[in-house]
Amino acid sequence: MITSADVVVCGAGIAGVAAAYHLAVEQRVGRVVIVDEREPLTLTSDKGTQGYRNWWPGPDDTMLRFVSRSIDLLEATARAHGNAFRMNRRGYLFATAEPAEVERLRTTAAQVSGFGMGAVREHRDLETYAPHLAEGFEDQPIGADLLLGDAARRAFPYLTPDMIGALHVRRAGTMNAVMLGALLLQRSVAAGAAFLEDRITGFDISHGTIRGVRLASGVGVSTPRVVVAAGPLVHEMTQMLGLSVPVMHELHAKLTVRDPRGAVQRDAPFVIWNDPVEIGGRPLPAGVHMRPVDLTHGDELQLIWTFETDLRQYEWPPRFDDRHREILLRGCARMIPAMTPYIGSGTSGVLDGGYYCKTRENRPLIGRLPIDGAFICGALSGIGLMSAHAAGELVALHVTGGPLPAYAPAFSPSRYDDAAYVSLIEQWGARTGQL
Ligand SMILES: Cc1cc2nc3c(=O)[nH]c(=O)nc-3n(C[C@H](O)[C@H](O)[C@H](O)COP(=O)(O)OP(=O)(O)OC[C@H]3O[C@@H](n4cnc5c(N)ncnc54)[C@H](O)[C@@H]3O)c2cc1C
């Protein structure tokens, strides 16, 4: 029976397993215990579309630097383990039929390039354009390619013929994030960490210092340090510490459907339609996304569209509006006409998803909490799979007192103590960086 630990990681979603990995494997902390009441990675972290990107239009270069670091770590882990989580470099493709949107993509790409994404290349034909590879991530271009007119239509023939431009972001793609999480957990356990299936019901704190974790089974684990990685249950867990954290929840649905007609090339990038779409007289914002994913049948597609961003109370299981299926299919058929026969054809697909747990400026909370020995790695919003590696590294450095990267203060919970920062982010909004 485990009764004491050097660090207890509270939650085994992708944030918790990445934190445990960096503590146990990279920082060589002796007795790391990860506690979760569920099977690891089964609340939010197995519901994502599993995309990653070094595309961060601002307001500054903080998120680009942070997620680029995470992609560096993802690549290193993939390289060391035979690409066990099938990380690819197919890119993100933002497509449009609007001249004004082509102009906006050009301007935004120049800005993101200035933050460090890499160069932007423009193409009116395909002579100098390097297409992506279906698998793997090595030896691929960085930056982005802006394809215009026929060049865009020839490179991506399954997209609508009225498309006039497409921006292909190259240090981007998809992966199997559950395999990634399983690998990080397995490496942690091999380095001496332990997983405990239990529910955390409270913390022992004396003189403002963490002393231990209380569990539903009645057993306690004494520890001087805890990492709160509770995903959308962060309110509940920080309340046990007598704290309140400034996070909120949006519910996001994704639809997994089969594509037996082969409407989409299987090696397609993560495609995003950058124009608004009207469905049944209802104008919906730009941003319907589609990616191929190989599941049971090997012909599945995942669709997601962030058109509902109302704040929600956490409830599990979440309830999704069944009309989402039709809306997602219609939106997708706007950019991929060969998907039109699936609308209303009884193609049901699987509608699931989870919560984006986020701060008011949509930047994670990683760092010390105002109780000695308490740390947080959370509020990973819709970017937790791509950013978890760097988030885990950062919280592990906070725990061990290691040298912090330059972006550390931007994620520290104490940033809200700075009145100038609080008034600055009023202008940003909670959808900053959200596609
Ligand atoms: C539809 C959708 C699409 C997404 N697409 C992407 C994408 O393409 N790319 C990307 O990077 N990200 C994506 N995300 C975001 C990503 O999935 C999340 O940011 C990430 O999974 C959050 O991980 P987490 O570890 O913080 O939370 P979770 O995975 O929710 O883990 C929290 C864990 O804490 C445990 N826990 C909580 N309280 C307790 C307690 N008291 N006792 C014991 N255990 C407890 C829970 O059981 C749970 O296992 C998407 C999310 C959704 C919903």
HEC letters along the chain = CCCECCEEEECCCHHHHHHHHHHHHHCCCCCEEEEECCCCCCCCCCCCCCEEECCCCCCCCHHHHHHHHHHHHHHHHHHHCCCCCCCCCCCEEEEECCHHHHHHHHHHHHHHHHHHHCCEEEECCCCCCCCCCCCCCCCCCCCEEEEECHHHHHHCCCCCCCCCEEEEECCEEECCHHHHHHHHHHHHHHCCCEEEECCEEEEEEECCEEEEEEECCCCEEECCCEEECCHHHHHHHHHHCCCCCCEEEEEEEEEEEECCCCCCCCCCCEEEECCCEEECCEEECCCEEEEEECCCCCCEEEEECCCCCCECCCCCCCCCCCHHHHHHHHHHHHHCHHHHHHCCCCCCCEEEEEEEEEECCCCCEEEECCCECEEEEECCHHHHHHHHHHHHHHHHHHHHCCCCCCCHHHHCHHHHHCHHHHHHHHCCCCCCCCC
Rounded Cα gap, residues 212 and 34, in angstroms: 13
Ligand 1 centroid–CA 176 distance in Å is 15
- Domain with residue 27: its CATH number is 3.50.50.60
Residues 266, 314, single domain; the answer is: yes
Ligand 1 centroid–CA 249 distance in Å is 12
Ligand 1 atom nearest to 237, measured from its CA: 41
Rounded Cα gap, residues 200 and 186, in angstroms: 22
Rounded Cα gap, residues 139 and 417, in angstroms: 44
Ligand 1 atom nearest to 43, measured from its CA: 30
N-term to C-term CA, the chain = 45
Residues 30, 108, single domain; the answer is: no
Ligand 1 centroid–CA 155 distance in Å is 35
Ligand 1 centroid–CA 201 distance in Å is 19
Q: What residue's CA is closest to ligand 1, atom 50?
A: 48
Among the candidates 338, 354, 370, a domain finishes at 354
Residues 30, 159, single domain; the answer is: no
Task: Report yes or no: 66 and 387 within 8 Å, Cβ to Cβ.
Answer: yes
Residues 221, 274, single domain; the answer is: no
Please tell me the total count of domains within the chain: 2
pLDDT tens string, the chain, 435 residues long: the values are 899 999 999 999 999 999 999 999 999 999 999 999 999 999 999 999 999 999 999 899 999 999 999 999 999 999 999 999 999 999 999 999 999 999 999 999 999 999 999 999 999 999 999 999 999 999 999 999 999 999 999 999 999 999 999 999 999 999 999 999 999 999 999 999 999 999 999 999 999 999 999 999 998 999 999 999 999 999 999 999 999 999 999 999 999 999 999 999 999 999 999 999 999 899 999 999 999 999 999 999 999 998 877 888 999 999 998 889 999 999 999 999 999 999 987 767 999 999 999 999 999 999 999 999 999 999 999 999 999 999 999 999 999 999 999 999 999 999 999 999 999 999 997 788 888
Task: Report yes or no: 305 and 296 within 8 Å, Cβ to Cβ.
Answer: no
Domain membership of residue 15 (yes or no) is: yes
Mutate to test the pocket of ligand 1, among 14, 44, 235, 411 (most ligand atoms within 8 A of CB): 44
Domain membership of residue 431 (yes or no) is: no
Pocket of ligand 1 (CB under 6 A): 11-16, 35-38, 43-45, 47-51, 199-200, 229-233, 237, 252, 254, 304, 353-354, 378, 380-386
Ligand 1 atom nearest to 352, measured from its CA: 1
Among the candidates 312, 338, 354, a domain finishes at 354
Mutate to test the pocket of ligand 1, among 34, 45, 197 (most ligand atoms within 8 A of CB): 45
Residues 284, 157, single domain; the answer is: yes
Rounded Cα gap, residues 375 and 372, in angstroms: 9
Range of the domain at 320: 86-173+250-354
- Domain with residue 167: its CATH number is 3.30.9.10
Domain membership of residue 75 (yes or no) is: no
Residues 261, 341, single domain; the answer is: yes
Ligand 1 atom nearest to 42, measured from its CA: 49
Residues 257, 333, single domain; the answer is: yes
Ligand 1 centroid–CA 278 distance in Å is 31
Domain membership of residue 92 (yes or no) is: yes
Residues 234, 321, single domain; the answer is: no
Residues 318, 255, single domain; the answer is: yes
Ligand 1 centroid–CA 324 distance in Å is 21
Residues 224, 92, single domain; the answer is: no
Domain membership of residue 140 (yes or no) is: yes
Residues 110, 132, single domain; the answer is: yes
